[in-house]
A and B are shown apart, each in its own frame.
Chain A
Amino acid sequence: MTTKLAWRNLAHDRVRLVVTLVGIVFSVVLMGMQSGLLVGFTRTTTGLVDNARADLWMVPKGTLDVDLGGPLDERRRYQALAVSGVAKAEPYLVNFARWKKPDGGTESIQLVGHQLGDVLGGPWSLETGSVDDLRRPDGVIVDRLYAAKLGVSAVGDTVEINGRRARVVGFTRGIRTFTQSPYVFTSLPNAREFVGLPSTTVGYVLLALAPGADAAAIEAEIEARIPEVEVYQSAAFAESSSSYWLFTTGAGFSLIISALLGLVVGIVIVAQTLYASTIDRLPEYATLKAMGAPNSYLYRIIVTQAGIGAVIGYAAGIVIVIGLVFASREASAAPVLPVSLALGLGALTLVMCIGAAVLSIRKVMAIDPVGVFR
């Protein structure tokens, strides 16, 4: 009966119901999109690390982000290989470069060079072409999302990277970059050529460990043996990279604050409309109290009202969020809505609406049933 009463209380005043639902939907969409962008950006900033299949990353000391690695002498790779438990140590290079489009104009890119034939590093989500095509001395693979930005459209298009001729030999799909300088994959020798680095220079060394090896112990041993490097486990380097971009640039704070703003707006709107509805119905609540209804019965009505608003508002809001996520799937900065985020958003909406009911509950607690006789 409390559910019926709650629903009728909500539905009775259509205008107020619409205002409540619009508030909740707005809040869900704002929270969903901002959180989705945060997740999307986080995934973007860690894409290279997450898809490199390395257990450990050996990086120049002080490196916080995969996009901003310094040069490392390749001899460090062999020193790492000498550590017991290290099965593979493969060179990897990430470097900014200038991309000259076929029809003029330049763009900044991030050149990613890996050792061909190696297991670690290299492009993923290949749409056209193959990694072997990078054996061409000028071969590069770009992502379809940035094709227009880079002025290319098909395999065989030629461009210039730092003044050297390059030929597109393949396309990936969905590899985004946080810096908006698209990743351009090539072989390690090509990368060195394009950016003018000597053949003994690498950016990182990717390490694969032997089965059962103790990653923390190996990490400590390499750092002890090679003072100029730091070693991260893959997840830790991914976290460091995402923290760097999201929090040192303020982008993460901005997204989190926007999401919180959505939460606050939702709470204020729901609290205000629910409170107004409660005030309208005070005589009914007083009647229930006079009849002998315990306070918990009245709370149930109010909380159910809030809950119904949350469920309807969330359902409508999440549909909009899913639509927006789908619509922006080809954008360079795309929100992502994993199931866990969608569920978390639902729980947060429920908590928000029930939290907003507190004011109304306090009001109802103070009702004197004697008032029904006045």
Chain B
Amino acid sequence: MTAILRATDIRHVYGSGPTAFEALRGVSFEIQRGEVVLLLGPSGSGKTTLLQVIGGLLRPTSGTLTLAGQSLDGLDLEALGRVRLANFGFVFQAYNLFPTLTAAENVEVALDLIGIRGAPARRRSRELLAEVGLAEKADSFPAHMSGGQKQRVAIARALAADPAVVLADEPTAALDSHSGAKVVGLFRRLADQGRAVVIVTHDSRILGAGDRIVEMEDGVVVPGTHAAGAHGPDAQGAHA
């Protein structure tokens, strides 16, 4: 089985000279379609930096990154933006919705970015909200929604371009257990639909939701965790 996303020997250094800080020290990581991977580790372990690198938001100091077999090395920021738009869906801890737009309009922004506008965009945004169970909240503003509902709107927005990879940063950290479970259930469903899902989390409540757990510490993957998929060439062990 081919990995949809493969990072090989990724290093990333912040700053330079005596104050330089090496956040990633030769990390190799891959994920396949249909997988939910949980990225764990203490603060400063490099997991968010890794998420940023594999999401094309941060260019690594060295190492290679391939998406569906295509190298992302050497792409400029605008090109990386286009890659993100077409291939990645992002879900943030703080939801990052536009407060002045309704739930449906928040999704329409993402559709607008890929050129879907007008009636098709309105129709599609409602379909996506229905997929996350929020059809009835389409015309609500974020201020009138619960945290769980906001996060589900964010997930609907992340799905607008039908991305191959969904990257989530602490998506349940601000949610109660019921809402968190709903959100995790959605991620599971996205993976079952053939997407790869990477979740950075500290939330012990969702550890059972991942197909694999990759633990990081001091900028490296902790030995014994599963940086490669079960069927990948670098598989290091059994599923959690």
Contact = CB atoms under 8 A, between A and B. Distances in A.
B100 A293 contact: no
A283 interface: yes
A372 B91 CA distance: 10
A284 B84 contact: no
Contacts of B82: 292, 294
Interface stretch (A3-11, A88-96, A251-259): A3-11
- Assign chain B's interface to a size class: 20 to 34
Given A2-B112, A292-B113, A287 B81 contact: no
Interface in B26-85: 48, 51-52, 55, 57-58, 78, 81-85
Given A289-B81, A290-B57, A293-B81, A1 B100 contact: no
B101 A293 contact: no
A75 interface: no
Contacts of A294: 78, 81-82
A294 B77 CA distance: 9
Contact of B100 (A2, A5, A295, A370): A5
A300 to B, nearest CB: 10
Interface stretch (B103-111, B130-138, B187-195, B232-240): B103-111
A291 interface: yes
Interface string A14-46: 000000000000000000000000000000000
B57 A370 contact: yes
B224 interface: no
Interface string A155-178: 000000000000000000000000
B78 A284 contact: no
A314 to B, nearest CB: 24
Contact of B108 (A1, A11, A295): A1
B57 A4 contact: no
Given A287-B92, A291-B110, A370-B52, A12 B57 contact: no
A265 interface: no
A295 B82 CA distance: 11
A292 B52 contact: no
A9 B55 CA distance: 28
B96 A297 contact: no
Contacts of A11: 100
A373 B108 contact: no
Contacts of A287: 92, 96, 98
A359 to B, nearest CB: 21
Contacts of B84: 290-292
Interface residues of B, dominant DSSP: helix
A369 interface: yes
A276 to B, nearest CB: 15
A369 B98 contact: no
B113 to A, nearest CB: 5
B105 A291 contact: no
A1 B90 CA distance: 20
Contacts of B86: 292
Contact of A373 (B52, B83, B99): B52
A293 B113 contact: yes
B81 A1 contact: no
A372 B85 CA distance: 16
B100 A373 contact: no
A288 B109 contact: yes
Contact of B113 (A8, A12, A297, A370): A297
Interface string B112-146: 11000100010000000000000000000000000
A80 B109 CA distance: 76
Nearest to B169: A373
Contacts of A9: 100
B114 to A, nearest CB: 9
Contacts of A1: 105, 108-109, 112, 117, 121
B58 A370 contact: yes
Nearest to B55: A290
A4 B92 contact: no
Interface string A205-230: 00000000000000000000000000
Interface string A264-298: 00000000000000000001100111111111010
A369 B57 contact: yes
Contact of B90 (A5, A283, A290): A290
A370 to B, nearest CB: 5
24 contacts: A1-B117, A1-B121, A2-B112, A4-B101, A5-B100, A5-B101, A5-B109, A8-B100, A11-B100, A287-B96, A288-B113, A290-B90, A291-B113, A292-B83, A292-B113, A293-B81, A293-B113, A294-B81, A295-B78, A369-B57, A370-B58, A373-B48, A373-B51, A373-B57
Given A288-B109, A292-B113, A297-B113, 10 more contacts: A1-B109, A5-B101, A9-B100, A284-B96, A291-B84, A292-B84, A372-B92, A372-B96, A373-B51, A373-B92
Closest 8 CB pairs of A and B: A292-B85, A8-B100, A292-B84, A1-B112, A287-B96, A292-B81, A12-B100, A370-B57
Interface of B: 48, 51-52, 55, 57-58, 78, 81-86, 88, 90, 92, 96, 98-101, 105, 108-110, 112-113, 117, 121, 169
